[in-house]
Amino acid sequence: MTCPSCGGDNLDGVIDCAACGQPLNDASLPEPSTAVERSLLMDRVGVLNPKAPVHVSPDTPVRDVLRMLVDRRIGCMIVADAGKPVGVFSERDALVKLGTDAASQGDRPIADFMTAAPETLPVDAKVAFALQRMDVGGYRHLPIVDDAGTVTGIISVRDILKYLAAKLAA
The predicted-structure confidence for 112-129, as pLDDT tens digits, reads as follows: 999 999 899 999 899 988
Domain edges within the chain: 1-30, 31-169
Q: What is the pTM of this model?
A: 0.77
Instruction: Decide: 106 and 61 in contact? Cβ < 8 Å.
Output: yes
The predicted-structure confidence for 147-169, as pLDDT tens digits, reads as follows: 888 899 999 999 999 999 999 88
Ordered alpha helix ranges (H), 74-156: 91-93, 102-105, 127-137
The predicted-structure confidence for 40-80, as pLDDT tens digits, reads as follows: 888 999 999 999 999 999 999 999 999 999 999 999 999 99
CATH T-level fold of 31-169? CBS-domain (3.10.580)
**What's the rounded mean pLDDT across residues 82-100?**
90
**How far is Cα of residue 18 from the mean position of the Cα atoms in its chain?**
21
Q: Residue 137: how many CB atoms within 10 A of its CB?
A: 13
